[in-house]
Amino acid sequence: MKKTAFKSTQGNRFHVTCELGAVGGQSGEFYVAQRDGGSGSPYVVKVFDKRDQNAVDRARWLVDKRQMIEHPSMVLPVDYIDEPNCFAVISPYIDGAMEMEAWMSTSPSFIDHVVIAAQISQMMVCLKNAGVFHGDLHSRNVLIVASRAYLIDFDNATGQGAPAAPMAGGHYSMAPERASGTGPVTEASESYALACLTHELLLSTSPFAGSG
């Protein structure tokens, strides 16, 4: 992103404060920004390749859909920038967060693991009730702050009225039909990913560890 200040489609003005490294399991360009006249809370700006019309259309769909998803721990895009040479989504920035695997390495108690698993399950139910599939649920897309889980990276989100999501990743929690590229994101593939993540949290290992 060449610019250091920009205006979103909702009329909010933002200024970039710094470039950000990789966020969770996501790829792309990331920047930390603040909204002019706002509370001072930081935001993450993710820049998309505007030629990827599928990603752009799904990002717009998700910003509109966000009003139906009421959960404080889902880091959904709240606005977007649509300029001739730039498309970007704006999401809240979670300060001090650790990726789930890094959090697990700090030796939290089993009860803490159960609490995080329950929080993730609750978020997935909330998405389902809103007609949204995350499409890319795995440990790097879960951030944790003070025993509270946050779900990030909705780049592959889809649902009714949205373009189909592309295959993402190839991580262990991807359902076989998704990993092979033969099936769309469905309630079944979401349940598969959630089961894998829950297994990892409760048993501290991938369900396929040692399977080759």
- The model's pLDDT over 92-147, given as tens digits with 9 standing for 90+, comes to 999 889 999 999 999 999 999 999 999 999 999 999 999 999 999 999 999 999 99
* 100: phi then psi, degrees, rounded to nearest 5: -55, -45
C-beta of residue 74 within 8 angstroms of C-beta of residue 65:
no
User: Which pLDDT score, from 0 to 100, does residue 20 have?
Assistant: 79
Size of the chain, expressed as the number of residues it contains: 212
| Cα separation, 5 vs 33, whole angstroms | 9
Whether the predicted pLDDT of 28 surpasses 80: no
User: Which pLDDT score, from 0 to 100, does residue 84 have?
Assistant: 83
pTM metric for this prediction: 0.86
* 85: phi then psi, degrees, rounded to nearest 5: -120, 15
User: Which pLDDT score, from 0 to 100, does residue 172 have?
Assistant: 76
More confident residue, 4 or 168: 4
Whether the predicted pLDDT of 36 surpasses 80: yes
Whether the predicted pLDDT of 23 surpasses 80: no
Summarize the confidence of residues 8-30 as an average pLDDT: 77
Whether the predicted pLDDT of 182 surpasses 70: yes
- What's the chain's average pLDDT? 87
Query: Which of 120, 185, 138 is closest to 157 using CA atoms?
Result: 185
More confident residue, 160 or 166: 160
Summarize the confidence of residues 53-66 as an average pLDDT: 89
Confidence of residue 55 (pLDDT cuts 50, 70, 90): confident
Whether the predicted pLDDT of 211 surpasses 90: no
User: Which pLDDT score, from 0 to 100, does residue 26 have?
Assistant: 56
